[in-house]
Amino acid sequence: MSIRLRIFLGFCLAIIAGFLALSLWITEDIRLQPLKSTEEAMVDTANILAAGLEDRLREERPDIMDLRAAMDRALRRKLDARLYQLEKRAVTTRVYVTDARGIVIYDSHGGIDEGKDYSRWNDVYLTLRGRYGARATRGDAKDFYSTVLYVAAPVHAGGRLAGVLTVAKPVNSVKVFITEITRRIALAAVISFLAAAVLSFVVSTWITRPLDRLAGYAQSVRDGRRAGLPPLGSSEIRTLGQAFEQMRDALEGKQYVEQYVQTLTHEIKAPLSSIRGAAELLQEEPPPEARRRFAATTADAGTRIQRLVDRLLDLTALESRKGLVQVESVNLGELVDDVAAAVDTQLRAKGIALSLSLAPNLTVPGERFLLRSALVNLIQNAIDFTPVGGAIQVAAAAETGLAVISVHDSGPGIPAYALDRVFERFYSLPRPDTGAKSTGLGLALVREAVALHGGSVELANHPSGGTLATLRLPLAPPAR
Nearest to 93 by CA among 44, 156, 33, 132: 44
Inter-CA distances, 395 with 211, 350, 356, Å:
49, 21, 6
Asked which of 185-189, 225-229, 270-274 is least confident by mean pLDDT, the reply is: 225-229
The string of pLDDT tens digits covering residues 306-352 is 766 666 666 566 566 667 778 888 899 999 998 888 888 888 888 99
Helices marked H in 171-322: 175-222, 236-252, 255-282, 288-320
Res. 225: pLDDT tops 50:
yes
* Residue range 171-189: mean pLDDT, rounded: 73
Nearest to 380 by CA among 417, 346, 428, 426: 346
Q: Summarize the chain as % helix, strand, coil (round to 5).
A: 55, 20, 30
Inter-CA distances, 268 with 34, 264, 278, 308, Å:
96, 6, 15, 8
For 158, left (φ over 0), alpha (ψ -120 to 50), or beta?
left
Same domain? For 316 and 332 the reply is no
Q: Are 377 and 442 in contact (CB under 8 A)?
A: yes
Q: Which of 53-62, 291-300, 344-353 has the highest mean pLDDT?
A: 344-353
In a domain, 465, yes or no: yes
> Rounded to a whole number, what is the largest CA-CA distance in the chain?
157
Q: For residue 355, what is the DSSP state?
A: E
Res. 29: pLDDT tops 70:
no
Q: Which of 252-256, 258-262, 291-295, 324-328 has the highest mean pLDDT?
A: 324-328
Q: What angle do CA 74, 79, 82 make, to 5 degrees?
A: 135
276 CB neighbour count, 10 Å cutoff: 12
CATH at residue 94: 3.30.450.20
Strands 353-358 and 391-399: parallel
Terminal C-alpha separation, the chain: 36
Percent of the chain whose pLDDT exceeds 90: 18
Residue 32: which pLDDT band, with cuts at 50, 70 and 90? low
Q: Are 108 and 94 in contact (CB under 8 A)?
A: yes
| Cα–Cα distance measured from residue 411 to residue 393, given in angstroms and rounded to the nearest whole number | 12
Top pLDDT among 214 and 363 is at 363
In a domain, 312, yes or no: yes
* Residue range 51-59: mean pLDDT, rounded: 75
The string of pLDDT tens digits covering residues 150-166 is 999 999 887 788 899 99
Count structural domains, the chain.
3
Phi then psi for residue 132, to 5 deg, are -75, 120
pLDDT of 268 reads: 61
Same domain? For 280 and 370 the reply is no
Res. 236: pLDDT tops 70:
no
* Residue range 278-289: mean pLDDT, rounded: 71
Res. 226: pLDDT tops 60:
no
pLDDT of 132 reads: 93
Q: Which of 33-42, 83-92, 270-279, 403-412 has the highest mean pLDDT?
A: 403-412
The string of pLDDT tens digits covering residues 262-275 is 555 655 655 666 67
pLDDT of 451 reads: 85
Res. 303: pLDDT tops 90:
no
153: helix, strand or coil: strand
Same domain? For 8 and 147 the reply is yes
Q: What angle do CA 193, 194, 195 make, to 5 degrees?
A: 90
Q: HSE of 152 in the Cβ direction (CA atoms, 13 Å)? A: 30
Mean residue pLDDT across the chain: 78
pLDDT of 377 reads: 85
Same domain? For 277 and 154 the reply is no
Top pLDDT among 77 and 352 is at 352
Last residue of a domain, one of 301, 320, 339: 320
457: helix, strand or coil: strand
Nearest to 39 by CA among 122, 117, 139, 150: 150
| Cα–Cα distance measured from residue 167 to residue 48, given in angstroms and rounded to the nearest whole number | 11
The string of pLDDT tens digits covering residues 409-446 is 998 888 888 888 888 877 778 787 776 777 677 788 88
Nearest to 328 by CA among 359, 288, 372: 372
Q: What angle do CA 251, 253, 256 make, to 5 degrees?
A: 60
Same domain? For 281 and 334 the reply is no
Last residue of a domain, one of 320, 346, 363: 320
Residue 126's contacts (CB-CB under 8 Å, 6 or more residues apart) are 132, 133, 134, 152
The string of pLDDT tens digits covering residues 10-25 is 767 777 777 677 667 7
Res. 41: pLDDT tops 60:
yes
Same domain? For 335 and 285 the reply is no
Q: Which of 70-79, 276-285, 335-344 has the highest mean pLDDT?
A: 335-344
* Residue range 77-98: mean pLDDT, rounded: 77
pTM of the predicted structure, to 2 decimals: 0.45
In a domain, 400, yes or no: yes
Q: Are 154 and 171 in contact (CB under 8 A)?
A: no
| Cα–Cα distance measured from residue 458 to residue 443, given in angstroms and rounded to the nearest whole number | 10
CATH at residue 292: 1.10.287.130
Q: Using CB atoms within 10 A of its CB, is residue 423 exposed (0-12), middle (13-18) or buried (19+)?
A: middle
pLDDT of 430 reads: 78
In a domain, 340, yes or no: yes
In a domain, 241, yes or no: no
Res. 468: pLDDT tops 90:
yes
Res. 464: pLDDT tops 80:
yes
Same domain? For 375 and 267 the reply is no
* Residue range 51-69: mean pLDDT, rounded: 77
Helices marked H in 54-97: 65-76
Same domain? For 364 and 313 the reply is no
pLDDT of 392 reads: 92
Q: Are 425 and 466 in contact (CB under 8 A)?
A: no
Q: Which of 142-146, 351-355, 447-451 has the highest mean pLDDT?
A: 351-355
* Residue range 175-189: mean pLDDT, rounded: 73
Same domain? For 310 and 339 the reply is no
* Residue range 170-191: mean pLDDT, rounded: 74
pLDDT of 253 reads: 47
| Chain Cα centroid distance, residue 21 | 25
Residue 380: give the domain boundaries.
Answer: 328-474
Element (H, E) at 462: none
The partner residues of 246 in beta bridges, in order of sequence, read none
In a domain, 278, yes or no: yes
Same domain? For 419 and 277 the reply is no
pLDDT of 292 reads: 74
